[in-house]
């Protein structure tokens, strides 16, 4: 494939970020355009036309388009899905309502169980039954399926999921029922639970399949508009869509499993961090993507982001392979308030884009994290976005004084620094979740901040956690969009095979592996026919009697006695490593088989547009008093990132401003600017000292 220009489009809640890379010249263009919620494709297509115009590139030169989309996520969160039917095993229509019998919150009685996408009048039962080993107990009542389809059509269902018990062990009944749906309703949006998630635990599988079905028409309509629009711009390349697993795939794959895109946007950031880390030789990274209302953190070890298999979306479990991204509801727009007992709290309520922080002068009067940063001189007190947006520090001051200083009886600086301290400790909690709570020591990792607010807080968060390095990308606000250009094509497939890990199970295992191999091959044919692909095989294993599995890899899609024994041996070793003990005498059970198929894509070049032949003082634009933890107000030089030379070293205190963010460098820290313009900040260790 001849690469000319690559285009990444990351749709967020407020803005859509676009990045265009001319592969031959190593030149990048960046563009931001407002997101258009009514028809997201419109803003995106306008933005694509604009960035091509800015770069003066012809659409025919674009060889790759990758899109990170929040469409499916928003459809679930805002319940903008379609009326969805379900055909299920007799006696079990309520499975998706019974859920796991826990109330939504132990203490908050006002929270209700979320209403599933298929309401009860659209959940119809048919006689059929499959045993856990896949044998048929009761044959499928095909007439009942026909009646159900007719009833669902009559009741206005626009999509159907077919969800039968133990379908992961034998999908025959589900496949036959889907065939009947299609006979009667040729253009139906329908999916079978065993096609979406061939794993046991009926609530999670039915929920996953039902949510998926409810999105099929929604994503189809969106992709129709998007694909037509891309073609209309004159781009011949087929666009790809980022998935939650960090791989990009064709629209056809997304049309089948829209649930795979739920973490499309945050995955772009993580893959961007992997790509940037690989280019500069940093492989152990904790990402810290702090935006206006929320913050995403993820852990990357040896260049590989941590993944997991279950996420909640809108109150429903959705089991898909997903990067392990932890989100908390705190960001630059989070509001500071005093609780009824008199404690200062920050978030989760946010001032959002409108009215925004008090200092933006758009009518907001509640103090936010951004207001505190302005009062303390950490953010520019005249204007943001390189002068394009005026700020009003008096309004920030008034908001903090009125809402915090008066009730807490403290001065402005203490209240403002308290806001920063509390939001930082919340951030620290998020980082601990994906590191310490997973058995990883954060001090072994570099913290990579991005998003609009990450670099403002990263050095302090790193200091609190004893992390010695902060790595600030050259374009922190656009790392997520850049990540789209780093994505490989990746498909993940799984199948439950609950059997003992002994030679008597080999036939059952190999039948399952053949099924996975066929699904992987079909996917590959659709995504990248003929391209070299990497097949990775894994089993989820546990000791008999346990309910918790560990992954153990194996080299090929066929197991013999020796390969099985090796896989079991690796499981014992993994158990000892993870939990401190192994039980080699206890029988081992295989639960799931997994296949990942990856087709590598070429890596985009680093930005070549870093200023050369200039001195650091050429980038000095200001000096102002800035408040730092442990030091109070200090005069600090302010540098313009765009004019900052590569290969230079300087020391904190300092502030680095650029269009998309501001980086705070505390006293005692040392910054090395690398050849690509990234900032590597060495943080003095403070493990034994007080932070404030």
Partner 1 sequence: MTASRVDSITAEVVSRHLLSIAEEMAATLIRTSFSPNIKERADCSTAVFDAAGRVIAQAQRVPIHLGSMIGAVHAVTARFGADEIAPGDMFVANDPYSGGGSHLPDINIIAPVFWQGRIVAYVANIAHHADVGGMVPGSEAAVCRSIFQEGLRIPPVRIMRGGEINRDVFDIILLNSRTADERNGDLRAQFASNVTGIRAVEGLFARYGEDTEPAIEAYVDFTRRRFTAAIGRIKPGIYTMEDFLDGDAPGETARIALTLTIEGGRMALDFSGSAAQLSWARNIPHQALIATVYTVAKSLLDPDVPANAGYFDTISIHAPQGCVVQPVAPAPVGCRSISAGVLGDVIALALSKAMPERAIAGSGPHHLAVFAGPDPRDDGYFVNYETIAGGMGARPNRDGIDAVRVHASGASNLPVEALEHAYPLRIERYAIRDGSGGAGERRGGAGVIREYRALAEGITVSLSAERQTVLAPGLAGGMPGAAGVFVLDPGTPRERVLGAAEADVALPPDSVLSIRTPGGGGYGPPERRPQAALDKDRREDRAPPAAEFSPGDLPRTETAA
Site for partner 1 in 94-123 (CB under 8 A): 94-95, 97-110, 112-113, 119-121
Q: Using the rule CB under 8 A, is 432 a contact of partner 1?
A: yes
**653 upstream amide cis, omega within 30 of 0:** yes
Nearer to partner 1, 169 or 213 (CB): 169
CA angle 473, 479, 483 (to 5 degrees): 125
Q: Are 626 and 516 in contact (CB under 8 A)?
A: no
How many C-beta atoms surround the C-beta of residue 532 within 10 A? 8
Pairing label, strands 534-543, 550-554 = antiparallel
Least distance (Å) between residue 547 CB and partner 1: 4
Q: Rounded to the nearest whole angstrom, what is the least distance from the CB of residue 165 to partner 1 in the complex? A: 6
Tell me the C-alpha to C-alpha distance, in Å, between residue 579 and each of 406, 567, 572, 683. 51, 18, 10, 32
Residues 652 and 134: their CA atoms lie apart, in Å, by: 65
Nearest approach in angstroms of CB 426 to partner 1 is 7
Task: Select from 186, 187, 339, 613 the one that contacts partner 1 (CB under 8 A).
Answer: 339
Between residue 178 and residue 207, which ones bind partner 1 under the rule CB under 8 A? 200-204
Site string for partner 1, 523-552 (x = CB under 8 A): --------------------x-xxxx----
* Tokens describing residue 24: 């031959």
Question: Under rule CB under 8 A, which residues in 36-75 are in contact with partner 1?
Answer: none
Residue 690 contacts partner 1 per CB under 8 A: yes
Instruction: Using CB under 8 A, count the residues that bind partner 1.
Output: 78
421 binds partner 1 (CB under 8 A): yes
371 or 421: CB nearest partner 1: 421
Of residues 582 through 601, those in contact with partner 1 by CB under 8 A are 583, 586
Q: Which stretch binds partner 1 (CB under 8 A): 223-231, 420-428, 506-514, 656-664?
A: 420-428
Of 39-47, 85-93, 561-569, 593-601, the window that binds partner 1 (rule: CB under 8 A) is 85-93
Binding mask 479-498 for partner 1 (x = CB under 8 A): -------------------x
Whole-number Å distance between alpha carbons of 446 and 303: 12
What phi, psi does 203 have (nearest 5°)?
Answer: -65, -45
Contact 16, 32 (CB under 8 A): yes
Which listed residue (25, 182, 382, 414) binds partner 1 by CB under 8 A?
414
DSSP letter assigned to residue 677: S
Interacting positions 443-482 with partner 1 (CB under 8 A): none
Residue 487 DSSP SS3: coil
Cβ neighbours, 10 Å, residue 587: 12
Tell whether residue 691 is a contact of partner 1 (CB under 8 A).
yes
User: Which region among 185-193, 235-243, 603-611, 683-691 touches partner 1 (by CB under 8 A)?
Assistant: 683-691
Rounded Cα distance, 116 and 139, in Å: 28
16, with CB counted inside 10 A (0-12, 13-18, 19+), is buried
Tell me the closest approach of the beta carbon of residue 169 to partner 1, in angstroms.
9
Residue 626 sits at φ, ψ, to 5 deg, of -130, 140
Nearer to partner 1, 132 or 602 (CB): 132
Query: What is the footprint of partner 1 within residues 128-147 (CB under 8 A)?
Result: 131-132, 137
């Amino acid at each position: 494939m001849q690469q000319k220009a690559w285009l990444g489009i990351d749709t967020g809640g407020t803005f859509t970020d676009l990045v265009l890379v001319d592969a031959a010249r190593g030149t990048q263009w960046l563009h931001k355009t407002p997101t258009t919620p009514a028809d997201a494709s419109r803003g995106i297509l306008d933005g694509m036309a604009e960035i091509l115009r800015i770069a003066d590139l012809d659409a025919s030169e674009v060889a790759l388009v990758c899109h990170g989309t929040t469409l499916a996520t928003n459809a679930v969160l805002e319940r903008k899905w379609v009326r969805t039917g379900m055909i299920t095993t007799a006696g079990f229509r309520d499975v998706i309502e019974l859920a796991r019998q826990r109330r939504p919150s132990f203490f908050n009685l006002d929270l209700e169980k979320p209403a599933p996408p298929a309401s009860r009048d659209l959940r119809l039962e048919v006689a059929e039954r499959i045993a856990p080993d896949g044998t048929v107990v009761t044959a499928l009542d095909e007439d009942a399926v026909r009646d159900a389809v007719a009833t669902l059509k009559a009741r206005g269902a626009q999509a159907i999921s077919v969800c039968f018990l133990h379908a992961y062990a034998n999908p025959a009944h589900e496949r036959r029922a889907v065939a009947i749906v299609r006979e009667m309703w040729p253009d139906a949006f329908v999916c079978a639970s065993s096609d979406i998630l061939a794993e046991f635990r009926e609530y999670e599988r039915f929920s996953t399949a039902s949510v998926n079905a409810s999105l099929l028409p929604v994503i189809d309509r969106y992709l129709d508009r998007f694909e037509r629009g891309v073609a209309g711009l004159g781009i011949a390349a087929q666009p790809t869509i980022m998935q939650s697993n960090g791989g990009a795939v064709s629209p056809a794959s997304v049309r089948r499993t829209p649930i795979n895109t739920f973490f499309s946007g945050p995955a772009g950031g993580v893959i961007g961090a992997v790509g940037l880390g690989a280019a500069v030789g940093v492989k152990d990274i904790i990402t810290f993507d702090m935006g206006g209302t929320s913050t995403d953190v993820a852990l990357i070890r040896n260049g590989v982001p941590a993944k997991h298999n279950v996420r909640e979306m809108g109150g429903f479990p959705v089991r898909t392979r997903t990067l392990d991204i932890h989100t908390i509801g705190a960001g630059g727009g989070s509001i500071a308030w005093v609780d009824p007992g008199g404690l200062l709290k920050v978030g989760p309520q946010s001032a959002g884009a409108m009215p925004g922080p008090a200092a933006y002068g758009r009518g907001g009067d509640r103090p936010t994290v951004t207001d505190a940063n302005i009062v303390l001189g950490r953010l520019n007190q005249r204007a943001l976005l390189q002068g394009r947006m005026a700020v009003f520090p008096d309004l920030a001051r008034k908001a903090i004084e009125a809402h915090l200083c008066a009730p807490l009886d403290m001065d402005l600086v203490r209240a403002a620094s308290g806001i920063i301290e509390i939001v930082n400790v919340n951030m620290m909690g998020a980082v601990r979740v994906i590191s310490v709570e997973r058995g990883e020591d954060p001090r072994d990792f570099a913290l990579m901040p991005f998003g609009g607010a990450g670099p403002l807080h990263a050095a302090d968060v790193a200091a609190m956690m004893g992390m010695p390095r902060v790595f600030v990308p050259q374009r922190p606000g656009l790392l997520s969009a850049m990540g789209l250009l780093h994505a490989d094509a990746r498909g993940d497939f799984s199948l439950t095979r609950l059997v003992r890990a002994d030679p008597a199970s080999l036939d059952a295992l190999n039948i399952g592996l053949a099924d996975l191999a066929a699904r992987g091959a079909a996917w590959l044919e659709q995504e990248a026919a003929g391209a070299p692909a990497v097949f990775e095989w894994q089993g989820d294993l546990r000791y008999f009697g346990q309910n918790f599995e560990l992954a153990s890899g194996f080299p090929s899609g066929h197991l013999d006695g020796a390969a099985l024994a090796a896989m079991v041996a690796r499981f014992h070793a993994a158990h000892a490593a993870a939990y401190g003990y192994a039980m080699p005498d206890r029988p081992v059970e295989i639960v799931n088989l997994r296949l990942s198929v990856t087709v590598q894509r070429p890596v985009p070049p680093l930005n070549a547009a870093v200023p050369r032949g200039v001195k650091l003082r050429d980038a000095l634009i200001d000096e102002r008093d800035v408040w730092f933890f442990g030091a109070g107000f200090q005069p600090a030089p302010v540098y313009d990132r765009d004019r900052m030379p590569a290969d230079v070293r300087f020391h904190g205190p300092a502030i680095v401003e650029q269009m998309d963010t501001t980086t705070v460098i505390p006293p005692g820290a040392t910054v090395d600017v690398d050849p690509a313009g990234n900032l590597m900040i060495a943080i003095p260790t403070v493990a034994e000292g007080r932070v404030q």
